[in-house]
């Protein structure tokens, strides 16, 4: 009888879900115990790769390359600091999932009311759509450049490709992890090869890692941007809210006994190793992108920073700065490798974005859909703005169409500024809580660095909103600034609401935990 009911439920398009995070893959990956360090690390490696792709997605490319071309190695320090903050926050997210057995969305929803849960879900969905737009554009342009497929069919091909890849979760989550890791290596190889050919000044590159006031200066203005604007663009494209939700969910794919503290310690430890190693690779990729901007192209040569413009520049020997590069560019290898890396980056990121959509839907609003429907709907929603943009510019010149796609990709990132504080702040509050985390709560130094990072990123995202609104090109400066300040006030009000509900919910959780501990204490002593 029970089996009949379960079979009937499987045919429903939407059903209630309040179980384990990503239930299909939760706790499905076996890990060794008492084995060597490297063998154990290999078993835990994978989730970090899925998270790292969000830090090297197509949205990062133009900001890093343009920053390098405009300000040489000055913004290397921005990439380094952004990567270190990412490591800190991602470790917190993974630890929350492992210790609490809830992903970030579930943990927030457990402490807040239904109205706020729905609001946060909608906000995070828009943020995922914003990142998806950049990823779909990147993959579609790569298909266009490599195979001359028109943009509209190319967009739909990226959707179908994601569906095929995500269906591999039925035969094992390790397959997805392996594919993503291979694509990361492709991206790393392409840019390492192109940078090696360009023979950059490595001494200057390493000196650029040292923090300097030049990275946040308002001058000089090169190509319409200042170092501060370039730094804000890199930060905005680096730390994204959906990665925190994703990591807190996929960190639970490893099988462990939650009644065994040593098991939890091992999982937390090796998840941290996995995350830091993969994010270090992401840092190297982003650094290579900036070095490309410095060493590959002549200063100020690339006026079109869109993917089309960069592809053409790698074919144009007059824009390149090194004789070896010029010789290789004539064969078309440089531009082809760039397009291959772009395709790998876009495909990687769309996989993780779709998984995150499932996490937040189940966590915030307790809704679950069949695998095929969930994947199809979330991806189709994400490509609508891209298709509209292509349709509206179909009768215009190629340059105008390329510019429109680039503007769509850049302007869509505004939603990241809305959603990021609502994931970072609750994450920090919960991982600081002894009631929630026990011995795994953040150490004092981690708490201090966490607060500095969260407050700084929130400030920078909000600080950049007026300029972002002006970049839309819809309103004049006065109107843009007014709308930006209204948005900032709304965000701050919602943050206060979220914090109040989180604190009240945490006190309720602490009281329940204390009551449960008191009831079970005699049994534990026995």
Give the start-to-end residue ranges of the domains of the chain: 25-414
- Closest of 381, 408, 415 to residue 392, by C-alpha: 408
Task: Give the Å distances, CA to CA, from 91 to 61, 86, 108, 275, 360.
Answer: 24, 8, 17, 7, 19
pLDDT of the residue at 279: 93
Task: Determine which helix (DSSP H) or strand (DSSP E) holds 368, and give its type and residue range.
Answer: strand 367-368
pLDDT of the residue at 102: 93
pLDDT of the residue at 520: 40
> What does the alpha-carbon distance between residue 448 and residue 455 come to, in Å, rounded to a whole number?
11
pLDDT of the residue at 277: 94
DSSP letter at 214 equals G
pLDDT of the residue at 486: 94
Tokens of 373: 């429907």
> What does the alpha-carbon distance between residue 265 and residue 269 come to, in Å, rounded to a whole number?
6
> What does the alpha-carbon distance between residue 410 and residue 389 come to, in Å, rounded to a whole number?
13
- Closest of 194, 186, 189, 191 to residue 325, by C-alpha: 194
pLDDT of the residue at 519: 47
Task: Give the Å distances, CA to CA, from 227 to 63, 67, 239, 310, 455.
Answer: 11, 8, 19, 21, 21
Q: How many CB atoms lie within 10 A of CB 219?
A: 9
Task: Give the Å distances, CA to CA, from 374 to 22, 133, 320, 358.
Answer: 13, 18, 45, 7
Assigned fold of 25-414: Hydantoin permease (1.10.4160)
> What does the alpha-carbon distance between residue 83 and residue 77 come to, in Å, rounded to a whole number?
10
Alpha helices in 215-332 (DSSP H): 227-238, 241-250, 261-295, 307-313, 323-329
Tokens of 332: 């078309």
Place of tokens 């997605």: 57
pLDDT of the residue at 2: 43
CA 401 to mean position of chain CA atoms:
26
Tokens of 12: 């429903």
What stretches in the chain show pLDDT beneath 70? 1-13, 16-17, 59, 62, 161-171, 223-224, 236-237, 297-305, 317-322, 324-326, 329, 347-350, 370-372, 374-375, 378, 410, 413-414, 417, 471, 513-526
Residue 263's Cβ-count burial label (10 Å; 0-12, 13-18, 19+) is middle
Instruction: Answer yes or no: are the C-beta atoms of 296 and 195 closer than 8 Å.
Output: yes
> What does the alpha-carbon distance between residue 246 and residue 128 come to, in Å, rounded to a whole number?
11
186-209: buried (b, 16+ CB within 10 Å) or exposed (e) per residue?
A: bbbebbebbbebbebeeeebeebe
Place of tokens 């569906």: 163
The verdict on whether omega for the bond into residue 220 sits within 30 degrees of 0, i.e. cis, is yes
> What does the alpha-carbon distance between residue 226 and residue 241 come to, in Å, rounded to a whole number?
26
Summarised one tens digit per residue, pLDDT across range 240-298 is: 888 899 999 999 999 998 889 999 999 999 999 999 999 999 999 889 888 887 877 65
Tokens of 486: 């209204």
> What does the alpha-carbon distance between residue 306 and residue 406 come to, in Å, rounded to a whole number?
6
Task: Give the Å distances, CA to CA, from 268 to 1, 23, 278, 440, 486.
Answer: 40, 20, 16, 9, 41
pLDDT of the residue at 169: 60
> What does the alpha-carbon distance between residue 2 and residue 19 come to, in Å, rounded to a whole number?
18
**Torsion-angle region of 112 (φ positive above 0: left; ψ -120 to 50: alpha; else: beta):** beta
> What does the alpha-carbon distance between residue 58 and residue 345 come to, in Å, rounded to a whole number?
6
Helix (H, G, I), strand (E, B) or coil at 28: coil
Residue 105 CB contacts under 8 Å (≥ 6 apart), including other chains: 120, 121, 124, 245, 248, 359, 360, 362, 363, 364
Tokens of 407: 């503007």
Residue 380 CB contacts under 8 Å (≥ 6 apart), including other chains: 159
> What does the alpha-carbon distance between residue 495 and residue 219 come to, in Å, rounded to a whole number?
33
**For the chain, first and last CA: distance in Å?**
40
Instruction: Answer yes or no: are the C-beta atoms of 111 and 509 closer than 8 Å.
Output: yes
pLDDT of the residue at 1: 44
Alpha helices in 53-211 (DSSP H): 58-71, 76-100, 104-109, 114-147, 151-166, 173-198, 202-207
pLDDT of the residue at 13: 67
């Amino acid at each position: 009888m029970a089996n009949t009911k379960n079979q009937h439920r499987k045919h429903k398009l939407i059903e209630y879900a309040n179980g384990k995070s990503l239930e299909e893959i939760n706790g499905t990956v076996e890990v060794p115990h008492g084995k060597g360090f490297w063998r154990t690390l290999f078993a835990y490696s994978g989730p970090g790769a899925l998270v790292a792709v969000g830090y090297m997605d197509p949205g990062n490319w133009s900001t890093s390359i343009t920053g390098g071309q405009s300000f040489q190695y000055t913004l290397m320090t921005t990439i380094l600091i952004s990567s270190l903050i990412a490591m800190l926050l991602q470790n917190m997210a993974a630890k929350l999932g492992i210790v609490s057995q809830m992903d970030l969305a579930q943990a927030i929803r457990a402490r807040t009311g239904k109205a706020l849960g729905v609001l946060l879900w909608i906000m995070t969905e828009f943020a995922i759509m914003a990142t998806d737009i950049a990823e779909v554009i990147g993959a579609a342009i790569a298909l266009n450049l490599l195979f001359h497929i028109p943009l509209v069919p190319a967009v739909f091909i990226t959707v179908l490709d994601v569906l095929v890849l995500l269906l591999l979760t039925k035969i094992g989550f390790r397959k997805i992890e392996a594919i993503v890791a291979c694509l990361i290596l492709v991206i790393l190889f392409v840019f390492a090869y192109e940078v090696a050919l360009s023979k950059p000044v490595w001494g200057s590159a390493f000196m650029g890692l040292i923090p300097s006031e030049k990275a946040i200066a308002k001058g000089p203005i090169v190509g319409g941007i200042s170092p501060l604007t370039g730094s804000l663009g890199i930060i905005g494209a680096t730390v994204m809210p959906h990665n925190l939700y994703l990591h807190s969910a996929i960190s639970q794919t490893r099988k462990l006994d939650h009644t065994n503290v040593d098991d939890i310690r091992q999982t937390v430890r090796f998840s941290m190793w996995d995350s830091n190693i993969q994010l270090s690779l992401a840092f190297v990729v982003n650094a290579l992108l900036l070095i490309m901007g410095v060493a590959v192209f002549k200063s100020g040569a690339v006026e079109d920073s869109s993917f089309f413009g960069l592809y053409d520049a790698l074919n144009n020997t007059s824009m390149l700065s090194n004789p070896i590069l010029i010789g290789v560019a004539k064969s078309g290898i440089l531009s082809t490798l760039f397009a291959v890396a772009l395709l790998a980056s876009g495909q990687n990121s769309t996989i993780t974005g779709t998984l995150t959509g499932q996490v937040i839907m189940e966590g915030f609003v307790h809704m679950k859909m069949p695998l095929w429907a969930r994947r199809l709907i979330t991806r189709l929603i994400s490509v609508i703005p891209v298709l509209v943009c292509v349709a509206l510019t179909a009768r215009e010149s190629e340059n105008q169409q390329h510019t429109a796609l680039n503007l769509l990709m850049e302007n869509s990132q505004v939603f990241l500024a809305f959603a990021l504080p609502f994931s970072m702040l609750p994450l920090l509050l919960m991982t600081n809580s002894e009631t929630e985390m026990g011995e795994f709560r953040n150490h004092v130094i981690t708490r201090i660095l966490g607060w500095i990072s969260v407050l700084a990123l929130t400030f920078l995202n909000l600080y950049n909103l007026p300029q972002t609104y002006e970049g839309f090109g819809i309103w004049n400066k006065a109107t843009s600034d007014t709308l930006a300040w209204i948005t900032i006030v709304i965000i701050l009000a919602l943050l206060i609401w979220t914090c109040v509900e989180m604190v009240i919910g945490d006190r309720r959780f602490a009281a329940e935990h204390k009551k449960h501990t008191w009831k079970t204490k005699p049994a534990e002593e026995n």
